[in-house]
Structure 1
Amino acid sequence: MDREPGLSVRLKLTLSYVAFLMVAGGLLLTVVWVFLLRYVPEVMIGSGPNRSDLQNAFVPRAAQMLVFLLVFGLVGGWLLAGRMLAPLSRLTHATRLAAEGSLSHRIRLEGRTDEFRELADSFDTMLARLEAQVAEQQRFAANASHELRTPLAITQTLLEVARNDPDRDNGELVERLHFVNARAIDLTEALLLLSRADRRSFTRERVDLSLIAEEATETLLPLAEQRGLAVKTSGETTSTIGSHALLLQMTVNLVHNAIVHNLPDQGTVWVTTTVDRQSAVLTVENTGQQLSSQVVPTLTEPFQRGTERARSDHTGVGLGLAIVKSITQAHDGSLTLAPRAGGGLTVTVRLPVAPPESDE
């Protein structure tokens, strides 16, 4: 935005200091003059020339004092304003570097806590978060590009094989193309859902997590039975405020993850909802392979599948827990992952509990 040039803040502060000093000096001289006229006995001043002599002696000295205060105020005010505004120059420099794309610079203002120190620390915190967010977005974009490129490359290879071998049976080719295309569509939809959760562009309403848990388990029950797994759902009414569609997707992702990454047979999935203090808690626990404490924190990263998470017909696109994390954060909640002692994973989602419904 183009703006007309104006006075600098340093000059404005200097002029303010000078104006205040001149006014204070003028008031002081006025008080002295009034004191001399009112309280000095007439016998000492007399009349006529004596009062005139006092005026002739006082006014020039007063004028000289005002000139001295003017010069002193300009010089001292300029130096003082420069010293007070020195942190702003560092803030301006850091802002320009950030605008040019350099987010690694930090102000690190020294000294005790004051308004400038709080501003500088807040700016450093903002830069750190922006740098981490940009790095995460770049990493996510690279991973997404890689994941999207894979089905496209496979599709291109299959089409080249069909073109070079026209006598080949196309039934198997069509089936494989259908599978690859379905995975590409699933990945695209997952990316769109992840973006929607990050933007928090959804309508909030009162939602019961216990009903959502039942709906999610009923949807995925055929997949669990196909794998010989038992799904157990329990809990009390657990109300929160949020998007029914997103919270259902979050729960479906958790239950699907618990089913797919479970024991080959006779495994179990537990889905529980509770109210803990001021939190609505959803817990999904499953049996499975032993997970190390180093691997578990990485599972919420996009396209991270962890140990023993090979691709199969139901492994998904590697965004399940990343979507869960984004939906949880969009609802001002927290997500905790912990390995089970006997193998498997425990995922706990804590959301703000909904306020009691009014009787009206």
Structure 2
Amino acid sequence: MGRARGLSVRLKLTLSYAGFLLVPVFLLLAAAWLFLLRQFPLDKLIPAPADFWRSLDPHNFGPLAFGSSAILVMAFLLVFGLVGGWILAGRMLAPLARITAATRTAAEGSLSHRIEMEGRRDEFRELADSFDAMLARLEAHDAEQQRFAANASHELRTPLAITQTLLDVARNDPTRDGGELDERLRAVNGRAIELTEALLLLSRADQRSFVRECVDLSLLAEEATETLLPLAEKRGVAVETSGVSAFTSGSHPLLLQLTMNLLQNAIVHNLPESGTAQITTAVEPESVVLTVENTGARLSPQIVTTLTEPFQRGTERVRGGHAGVGLGLAIVKSIVRAHDGTLSLSPREDGGLTVTVRMPVVQRSV
């Protein structure tokens, strides 16, 4: 919506400085007239234009000289206030001009620019530092989104390319077994559907488009364990569930998905045999804690820091065709962030991974 352009802040400050400078002088002159010159009428104090300079003659000092001197002082202070106020306002608003220029640069798409204002910490310095921090977060988020878009395009293109290849081979080879083709197409199509559903879930978590309710993480842990028990038995992984009731506020389906993803990762990325996965819940003074720990291959800290990135599967942990779509921990990270929680991953000394989720604690309503 267009708006008419008003006075600049610098001009407003200039007029304000001049006004504040003239007001006390005017009050002082009024007090002098009230207590010293009240017996003289105003026409004896305000000289006519023709008598203005003659009234300033020291030999003719009188009421007219007082009035002429007062007018000169007021005029001098007005000019001094306007000029000095303009210069002072310009110096005071110079940091704001740098912030405005940086804002325009960012609006044009350049997020790498920083104000980096020097000097002691004041309101303008705090505003500039906050703006720089915001630009840094936006730049990091923009880079993350670009990597995500590129990776998502690659991941979605892969099953489509495989499908196209299978169809081309089948068309050029009429004797090819249709049952085998049908099975492979179903597998590729299932992978594409799984990836699409994961992307939709990730978007839903990022947008926080869910209804909050009181959720007990210990019940989610038990439900996830019961659901994934067949997978754990198939892979020879023993799952242990323990802990206390831990109530938080959030979306039951999303928090269940979080728990399922963590436990499934712990089962899939484990030892070839006789592995273990532990899922526990605990309550701290201001948060509830969900911890999932599993045995497995040794992980370097560098690999652990990348596991929550979309499509970063951690190839050292993948085996047996259970790589998934590479969004499990990315979805967990988004769900945790949407619930105002924190997520931390750390490698175990003996191999495997420990994932800790902390979320705000709530009191269960009676």
In the superposition, the TM-score normalised over structure 2's length comes to 0.91
Which stretches in structure 1 are left out of the alignment for 5+ residues?
A: 40-51
Displacement of 1:53: 6.4
Q: Which residue in the other structure is 1:29 paired with? A: 29
Q: Secondary structure at the match of 2:180?
A: helix
Cα distance in 2 for partners of 1:251, 1:316 equals: 16
Displacement of 1:214: 0.5
- Pick one of 95, 106, 119 that aligns with 1:111: 119
- Pick one of 255, 258, 262 that aligns with 2:266: 258
Q: Which residue in the other structure is 1:158 paired with? A: 166
Q: Which residue in the other structure is 2:79 paired with? A: 71
Displacement of 1:16: 1.2
Cα distance in 1 for partners of 2:319, 2:185 equals: 17
State whether structure 2 residue 243 is matched by structure 1 residue 247: no
Displacement of 1:313: 4.3
Q: Which residue in the other structure is 1:187 paired with? A: 195
Which stretches in structure 2 are left out of the alignment for 5+ residues?
A: 40-59
Q: Which residue in the other structure is 2:313 paired with? A: 305
Displacement of 1:196: 0.9
Displacement of 1:342: 1.4
Cα distance in 2 for partners of 1:102, 1:132 equals: 13
Q: Structure 2 matches for 1:85-164, cutoff 5 A?
A: 85-164=93-172
Q: Which residue in the other structure is 1:19 paired with? A: 19
Q: Which digits, 9 at most, give the CA deviation of each residue in 1:284-322, with x for residues without a partner?
A: 111111111221111111111114334654331000011
Displacement of 1:166: 1.8
Cα distance in 2 for partners of 1:119, 1:248 equals: 41
**Equivalent residue letter for 2:201:** L
**Equivalent residue letter for 1:107:** I
Cα distance in 1 for partners of 2:320, 2:201 equals: 22
Q: Structure 2 matches for 1:266-281, cutoff 5 A?
A: 266-281=274-289
Q: Secondary structure at the match of 2:350?
A: coil
Q: Which residue in the other structure is 1:56 paired with? A: 64
Q: Secondary structure at the match of 1:106?
A: coil
**Equivalent residue letter for 2:117:** L
Q: Secondary structure at the match of 1:270?
A: strand
Cα distance in 2 for partners of 1:123, 1:293 equals: 32
Cα distance in 1 for partners of 2:320, 2:186 equals: 15
143-152 vs 29-38, which moves further: 29-38
Cα distance in 1 for partners of 2:323, 2:6 equals: 62
Q: Which residue in the other structure is 2:300 paired with? A: 292
21-30 vs 85-94, which moves further: 21-30
Cα distance in 2 for partners of 1:283, 1:273 equals: 6
Q: Which digits, 9 at most, give the CA deviation of each residue in 1:173-228, with x for residues without a partner?
A: 11111101111111111111111111111111100000000001111111111112
Q: Which digits, 9 at most, give the CA deviation of each residue in 1:84-124, with x for residues without a partner?
A: 10011101100000000001111111111111111111111
* Contact 1:295-1:307 at 8 Å conserved across structures: no
- Pick one of 343, 351, 360 that aligns with 1:352: 360
Q: Secondary structure at the match of 2:290?
A: strand
**Equivalent residue letter for 1:161:** V
Displacement of 1:356: 4.8
Cα distance in 2 for partners of 1:145, 1:356 equals: 43
**Equivalent residue letter for 2:316:** E
Cα distance in 2 for partners of 1:184, 1:79 equals: 65
Q: Secondary structure at the match of 1:350?
A: strand
Q: Which digits, 9 at most, give the CA deviation of each residue in 1:10-49, with x for residues without a partner?
A: 011111111222222211211223332369xxxxxxxxxx
Q: Which residue in the other structure is 2:323 paired with? A: 315
Cα distance in 1 for partners of 2:12, 2:316 equals: 67
Q: Which residue in the other structure is 1:45 paired with? A: none
Cα distance in 1 for partners of 2:260, 2:236 equals: 18
Cα distance in 2 for partners of 1:171, 1:80 equals: 84
Cα distance in 2 for partners of 1:126, 1:343 equals: 38
Q: Secondary structure at the match of 1:110?
A: coil
* Contact 1:291-1:307 at 8 Å conserved across structures: no
Cα distance in 2 for partners of 1:313, 1:221 equals: 19
Q: Secondary structure at the match of 1:203?
A: coil
Q: Which residue in the other structure is 1:48 paired with? A: none
* Contact 2:250-2:339 at 8 Å conserved across structures: yes
305-314 vs 178-187, which moves further: 305-314
* Contact 1:271-1:282 at 8 Å conserved across structures: yes
* Contact 1:337-1:345 at 8 Å conserved across structures: yes
Cα distance in 2 for partners of 1:307, 1:154 equals: 21
207-216 vs 10-19, which moves further: 10-19
What is the CA RMSD across the aligned residues, in angstroms? 1.7
Q: Which residue in the other structure is 2:54 paired with? A: none
Aligned residues: 347
